[in-house]
Structure 1
Amino acid sequence: MAKKSAVERNRKRERLSQRYAAKRAQLKAIARDRDLPIEERFKAQLKLSALPRNSAPIRIRNRCGITGRPRGYYRKLNMSRIALRDYASSGFVPGMVKSSW
């Protein structure tokens, strides 16, 4: 099990990212628009950098929904490889069987 503080920090980042998503997209569009004057684009870039760092979606870490483990994560299943193996061994994942050769 991962540290609760790390899991909560990641959840906080997810909430901040959702809250600032529209504002961030708007400022990015202004900063990238080559038709606008350079001063206006620079102001948009300054406002973008003034937003909280944790509101950037790149700072969100994929973590297992069951254990909070950050590594060995399957996006499709929202769980780590270890939790997947435990669930598959218990019969909770339909069609998945333990391989042996």
Structure 2
Amino acid sequence: MTRISLIQREKKRQKLEQKYYLIRQSLKKEIKKVFSQREKWKIKVRLQSLPRNSSAIRLRRRCLLTGRPRSNYQYFGLSGYLLREMIHACLLPGTRISSW
């Protein structure tokens, strides 16, 4: 299990990202429209003044059950070893573990 503080930090980042999503997108569109370097620089300064954790790139996908940050399968939202255990226990219908 992951420490609860890390999971809570990730939830806080998700809330910030949702809060500033439209602002970030509008500023990025403005940068593409403007031709002047000076105007682009001013828009970039406004973009950089937003909180760092509001950027989508800082989010990390975690396992829904354990909070593990590595080897996640996006389709299931589970980590690899937990997914394998659930498939062997026949808890995920329609999936199969390959063995050779």
**TM-score normalised by structure 1 residue count:** 0.87
Query: 1:90 and 1:14 mapped to 2: Cα distance?
Result: 32
Equivalent positions of 1:86-101 (< 5 A) are: 86-100=85-99
Query: 1:46 and 1:23 mapped to 2: Cα distance?
Result: 13
Query: 2:51 and 2:74 mapped to 1: Cα distance?
Result: 26
> Unpaired segments of 5 or more residues in structure 1?
none
SS of the residue corresponding to residue 22 of structure 2 reads helix
Query: 1:40 and 1:99 mapped to 2: Cα distance?
Result: 56
Aligned residues: 100
Query: 2:99 and 2:24 mapped to 1: Cα distance?
Result: 50
One-letter identity of the residue aligned with 2:53: N
Structure 1 runs (4+) deviating above 6 angstroms are none
**TM-score normalised by structure 2 residue count:** 0.88
The sequence identity of aligned pairs, in percent, is: 38
One-letter identity of the residue aligned with 2:69: P
> Unpaired segments of 5 or more residues in structure 2?
none
Query: 1:100 and 1:74 mapped to 2: Cα distance?
Result: 19
Partner of 2:21: 21
Partner of 1:9: 9
Q: How far off its partner does 1:100 sit? A: 4.7
